[in-house]
Amino acid sequence: MYQSPNQSYWQGRIDGTETTVLRWHQIINLLPMRGNLSPPKQHNAVAILGFCSDEGVRRNKGRVGAFHAPAVLRKVISNFPAQSQKANLTIYDAGDCVCIEQNLEQAQETLAEKVALLLQANYYPMLLGGGHEITFGHFQGVKKAFPQAKIGMINFDAHFDIRPVEAPTGASSGTGFWQIAQEEKDFNYLVLGIQENSNTQYLFDLAGKYGVEYVLGSSFNYDERPKVLQKIQNFINKVDIFYLTICLDVFAAPFAPGVSALAYNGIFPDKVFQDFFHYILASPKLKSMDIAELNPTLDIDNRTARLAASFIFEYVKSR
């Protein structure tokens, strides 16, 4: 359920070989994960790891297609400038974890193993989903790498993704945080962008039961900006480390048409969102990040993929 990195994904424009004109596809380092990893020479090395799965979306009765997102995202980010007001940018492609024959649970275990290896070797993982079933494997990997840490999770999402696992369906793209809550006595979860029309009262009640902190999408405005920033800071203060996940269905449909659950009233990727996003990226407690729910088969002119790519660029630049 693991595939080594593929150089063929990394292609694009070539303006020369001088440092100032290099692009990501010219500097990418392949990092096959077939054994133990040696630490990178650079302290700020980012490792890109794909999670090719839409099995969780299928089980959640959504529109499948997210399986292909890691390949599409690699192609989109290949042309990014390698030097963006920051020297010594170092990026690795660590390959893909792949869900085969609908065996989501094994794929999540494989993902957890690879995430833990990257973190233990002092890489900053940048995970490319895939459905939001990426959450459970991602968390398990962080937990393996930092078993004694108080771990937080920040999620930009229109949904809580805290549905209980039910037989015979099993875990899905909507159950990840519930699964984590069953294993963690100290459950620390902040979700930003919740839509009231996308979550039943039952899910709000479950969120309350597990102490989930949340910010409604309607609070993404200048008047409430200081309050939300303080909420984010208060959350970061109470954990040792955290990871960030961005579910692309948090954004309004014109900006993110390529998702399973389209949001006509989602948030805008505007200055307010950017302020929240960059505030989170600036924290030294941030150890890894993932992008979830890109469905290239539903996208328009790579609009959603390019939006996701911009977040990847900012994460890499911030390390």
Cα 35 from Cα 264, distance rounded (Å): 45
Between helix 134-145 and helix 104-120 the angle, nearest 10°, is 40
Do residues 39 and 122 make contact, with C-beta atoms less than 8 angstroms apart?
Answer: yes
Residue 43 known to bind ligand: no
Provide the pairing of β-strand 29-30 with 91-98: parallel
pTM: 0.96
Residue 186 known to bind ligand: no
Residue 247 known to bind ligand: yes
Residue 97 known to bind ligand: no
Cα 17 from Cα 215, distance rounded (Å): 46
**Residue where the block lists tokens 């799965």:** 53
Cα 223 from Cα 228, distance rounded (Å): 10
What is the token pair recorded at 211? 């102490």
**pLDDT tens column, 22-80:** 999 999 999 999 888 888 888 889 999 999 999 999 999 999 999 999 999 999 999 99
Do residues 125 and 31 make contact, with C-beta atoms less than 8 angstroms apart?
Answer: no
**pLDDT tens column, 239-262:** 999 999 999 999 999 999 999 999
Length of the chain: 319
Do residues 62 and 261 make contact, with C-beta atoms less than 8 angstroms apart?
Answer: yes
Residue 119 DSSP symbol: H
Percent pLDDT > 70 in the chain is 98
| Residue range 205-222: mean pLDDT, rounded | 97
Contacts of 264 (CB under 8 A, 6+ apart): 252, 253
Residue 52 known to bind ligand: no
Residue 250 DSSP symbol: G
Strand partners, 153: 189, 243
What amino acid is encoded at 33 in this protein? M
**pLDDT tens column, 131-164:** 999 999 999 999 999 999 999 999 999 999 999 9
**Residue where the block lists tokens 């499948």:** 64
Q: Report all structural domains of the chain as residue ranges with CATH numbers, in order of start.
A: 2-318 (3.40.800.10)
| Residue range 111-131: mean pLDDT, rounded | 97
Residue 301 known to bind ligand: no
